Structure 1
């Protein structure tokens, strides 16, 4: 199994009726911005371990488990759907608690990249430098889609309440690892075995359950608004490095409804942008090429 070169430690912060789990590497360094890493949908903070191990510079690194993922838990039953602005407020309060007013270097992957982009436009003074790993946003929508979207949201919440949307449980950690390798054929066995024990945990019956709330699968009731997104992007004052993988995730997901070219067009709203592509990598580029990714991030942050 993969052996972490720089093991993390866990801290918990109680905010907004949630016990937020933070994975921490290193200690604060005078004159150095904290490095905050935010994970994607159906992922966990431990997912950053391979990149942390590949960094050449010692940093104070903070990586939260988003609400409904990993070890972040609430006081009561989980919600029946999630609202994107909650991630912004959760991050804002966690930064208040951990770093105060000190500007940070913020790196986000996928959904976390979307949160990082939005947060950096809403709180531009808090971000020194920003790195977005395949946080593309969503396809453009039209008002005429709203009635069906609300109906879809209601139907999916009802299905969740009937127990029809539960996440699959696995017989063993090895079965979870096989699932991870099926999703990402580039993931080697040793990393899959290690990730499986971070991504899932055994329940009372001995089955391994994914550390993610099934309600995350419920569609957002509100349509994605590109004009709002661009207005927020225009407020980003930090230099941005946008990193994509050589595999075209956009083409696979959206089938022509939203393209990589359209994403790069949206990035023109940001004042200072650099772009980079990592070869021989898919959407989970922080698993596929952690050394190449770490070098790009370090060069940019320096």
Structure 2
């Protein structure tokens, strides 16, 4: 494995953990992880990169070693503001290559449209967005959020790191024992009782009271000027967020139509965590894309 180093920076009132691989001064490749994940999740892809890169990957606030929020709820625009602040910190004068997975890709896609001058290229790994919502869903969503605030958010603990690794493999059967053991060390932290807690704030499990406004997101996508590499996994289940597979495919293709310069790739023999399942193939796709722009 390629060695990484950790750094902590203060961003918008939060102490944020950032992981670095590669040579300082090399071309910068910024990677942002998904929901209930951590920066170390990109280790296998970084190991497979052949070029000279400085890879920078933060733990989003509320995940990994970064600070948790002091409020009841994580607000999605805060991730956008955190990304803006981090890119200003690491690359104040030059645009960057930006790669995001899942939730991280959704944040990165918004950012690439809101600040198009700050992005040289955008690599979207399974960042489809969410199902479109209707205004009449708002009362029920607010009520559910209020109900959830009445009790502390909780997640289960695990007796050993091996149990954490087995939990990861239950979610992703393609995960090898070696990769699961590595991820378990970064995905969990030992508590005072000697058990292992997932390294993520349980409050992330609360429902977002704000409805997903797909056309607002598409207005941002329309403004992306950087070339986009869109990578889906052949065996993903993320389309389930949007309903039956056939109608979900139509909606995903509709959304792709808002991107001016997009190159679509399908990753065979991979699920949603494609950076764990096929890191070598993904690294090759990424570097071929970056070399072509």
TM-score (norm 2): 0.96
- SS state at 1:48 partner: helix
Contact 1:172 1:207 in 2 (8 A): yes
Residue of structure 2 aligned with 1:127, choices 119, 132, 139 = 119
Distance 1:157 1:123 in 2: 34
1:191-210 counterparts in 2 under 5 A? 191-210=179-198
Contact 2:101 2:125 in 1 (8 A): yes
Residue of structure 2 aligned with 1:59, choices 34, 53, 56 = 53
1:109-160 residue CA offsets vs partner (Å, 9 max, x unmatched): 00001011001001100000100000110111111111111111111222xx
Residue of structure 1 aligned with 2:73, choices 70, 81, 86 = 81
Q: 1:220 Cα shift? A: 1.1
The alpha-carbon distance between structure 1 residues 254 and 270, as it changes in their structure 2 partners (threshold 3 A), is closer
Distance 1:92 1:101 in 2: 13
1:24 corresponds to: 20
2:62 corresponds to: 68
Residue of structure 2 aligned with 1:112, choices 86, 104, 109 = 104
Residue of structure 2 aligned with 1:12, choices 3, 8, 27 = 8
> Gapped runs of 5+ residues in structure 2?
none
2:95 corresponds to: 103
2:173 corresponds to: 185
TM-score (norm 1): 0.93
Contact 2:49 2:287 in 1 (8 A): yes
The more displaced of 248-257 and 6-15 is 248-257
- SS state at 1:259 partner: helix
> Gapped runs of 5+ residues in structure 1?
none
Contact 2:130 2:241 in 1 (8 A): no
1:1-302 counterparts in 2 under 5 A? 5-29=1-25, 32=27, 34-74=28-68, 78-158=70-150, 162-163=151-152, 165-256=153-244, 259-302=248-291
Contact 2:155 2:202 in 1 (8 A): yes
Distance 2:236 2:198 in 1: 27
Distance 1:140 1:167 in 2: 28
Q: 1:254 Cα shift? A: 4.3
Q: 1:55 Cα shift? A: 0.4
Task: State the aligned residue count.
Answer: 290
Contact 1:20 1:73 in 2 (8 A): yes
